[in-house]
Amino acid sequence: MPPINPVILFCVALASLAWAQQPAHPPVKVNVINVCAPSPDEQKEITSALARVPKQPLFSADFEIDRGRSTLSESPAFLQAGESAQMSAPNSTATYVRIRREFSVQALFSTVQYSFSVDPKNMVETMVFRVRDPKELMQLSIEDSASAVASAAAMLTADTPASRIKLERFGKSSVVLARCSAAENGPPPDQSAYQPQFQSASAILANYRGLLGARRTVPEELARISGFDRAGTKAATKPAAKTHEKKKPDTLKR
């Protein structure tokens, strides 16, 4: 048997030692977002993004109005309620209306999409502004919610204040500011420093509700969904119409 090369033996031992020192599970990096109290730099980013939303925009001729229903277990992102909203039971449904308009080419944002959804417990408004040429900021979204005990028209008329602001950034984690309620056995967090951002976001929501015609369009489209349901129910329960056969006259017997 030929002698074992000591260099090879040393390399094998070194590799075995390195393998033994590897952790059983690779480290996982977790980004924690403080939605109740963003940092001062993040607060400045939110202020800057809100300030760049045009108050009197120039829209192109293109637009889209969409309505439908979605099960909450499979709901798209624009139907997901904010943290302050009560979650409805799984497999319940939400009806929604979406309105989309395109800005003129001079604007920072390319499109604005407004969505209004109603489920058994919540009514949620979401306004999303998408940046035309994203470099740092990709999109800005503003959300508010209310209990579904009132009508959609009442919520739209009341100009419900914004409860959540989110910046989606290119290559970075999102920045979120949300109204936070009191924790268990504790007082609510002091968010007085963020009132200017909430007020600015609420003003944007109120302005674009009017610009997009949401106060009129949303109740009308939701009524069409209800009318579609009633028509389907009547068609399913309506008894089949009886057909009457015409009898041929008896021929004379010869």
What's the whole-model pTM score?
0.74
Domain that residue 197 falls in? 53-84+93-181+192-234
Strand order in the sheet with 59-71: 59-71, 93-103, 109-118, 122-131, 137-147, 164-169, 175-178
Tokens representing 199 are 């007020």
Inside any domain, residue 79: yes
207: exposed, middle or buried (Cβ count in 10 Å: 0-12, 13-18, 19+)? middle
* Top mean-pLDDT range of 78-82, 134-138, 209-213, 250-254: 209-213
Inside any domain, residue 117: yes
pLDDT of residue 227: 76
Inside any domain, residue 5: no
Q: Tell me how far apart the alpha carbons of residues 21 and 167 are, in angstroms, rounded to a whole number.
A: 41
Inside any domain, residue 159: yes
What whole-number percentage of the chain has pLDDT above 70?
69
Q: Tell me how far apart the alpha carbons of residues 87 and 139 are, in angstroms, rounded to a whole number.
A: 25
Inside any domain, residue 6: no
Domain count, the chain: 1
Inside any domain, residue 140: yes
Inside any domain, residue 74: yes
- With tokens 């939605």, the residue in question is 35
pLDDT of residue 253: 46
pLDDT of residue 193: 95
